[in-house]
Homo-oligomer: A and B are copies of this chain.
Amino acid sequence: MKIRVIIPSITKEFEAMGLEQYSLGARSDTEISVTLLDKGPASIESRYDETIAVPDIVGKIVEAERDGMDAVIVDCMAEPGVEAAREMVSIPVIGPAAPAMHVASMLGHRFSVITVLDRAIPRFERHGPKTGLSRQMASLRAVNIPVLEMGDTERLVKALIEQSAMAVREDGAHVIVFGCTGMAGLAEEVKKGLEEQGISDVPVIDPALLAVKVAEALVDIGLSHSKRTYPNPPEKEIVGY
């Protein structure tokens, strides 16, 4: 099975990181490939960043289908371009946020999302009414480390443990969901950190890992998005793309 990960960024370093992160959870017979954007922002931290990323994201997804991919993942919790791309292709196109929130809802009473910056929280809350899972969200919290500084893993893990523990103790979270795919691969360490604080009964969901598993599952049983919800766009004149 061939899965293409679209990284909605022009930052070269993200390419190898993305390949590593998404390969972690993949089955041995799953081949992960990664594509950066040619045009767009260095990272997605605002609605404006999404706006200038989406045309090329959709372009790369169309390309992925042409390349014979079985499924596509857009590597960003804001899921930019996922819905538009579904109009253009037939293969499954998923972001990491919806699968993580749906699975969190299946595993426990309430979940909290630990995202990067406070300023992302209103954008993040859009997922609630969109998915119907508002009531299942115990809280949204942020580690408040900018995306481009998240390389300091120790600092990031410490902040994730701290916010996760507060989500459990103060907000009533029973499941933790990472709010950024830049946190991929850290679930085990965060789980261990929580256990050291006496919180040993809370699953920690790594949306990047999970996205791969959901993509594999959909391909295995031949499911994709409904073209009744995402019909092909009518033909028309277009300038600049």
Contact = CB atoms under 8 A, between A and B. Distances in A.
Contacts of A109: 122, 125, 226, 228-229
Q: Report copies per complex.
A: 6
A87 B241 contact: no
A223 B103 contact: yes
B135 A135 contact: no
Interface stretch (A13-21, A65-73, A157-165, A202-210): A202-210
Interface residues of A, number: 89
A3 interface: no
Contacts of A214: 217
A23 interface: no
A27 interface: yes
A47 B221 contact: no
A175 interface: yes
Contact of A229 (B49, B108, B148): B108
A195 to B, nearest CB: 12
A47 B86 CA distance: 9
7 contacts: A108-B229, A109-B226, A109-B229, A174-B229, A175-B229, A201-B226, A216-B217
Interface of A: 10-11, 25, 27, 37-43, 45-52, 54-56, 58, 81, 83-88, 94, 98-99, 102-103, 105-109, 119, 122, 125-126, 129-136, 146, 148, 168, 174-175, 200-203, 205-206, 209-210, 213-214, 216-218, 220-221, 223-231, 233-234, 236-241
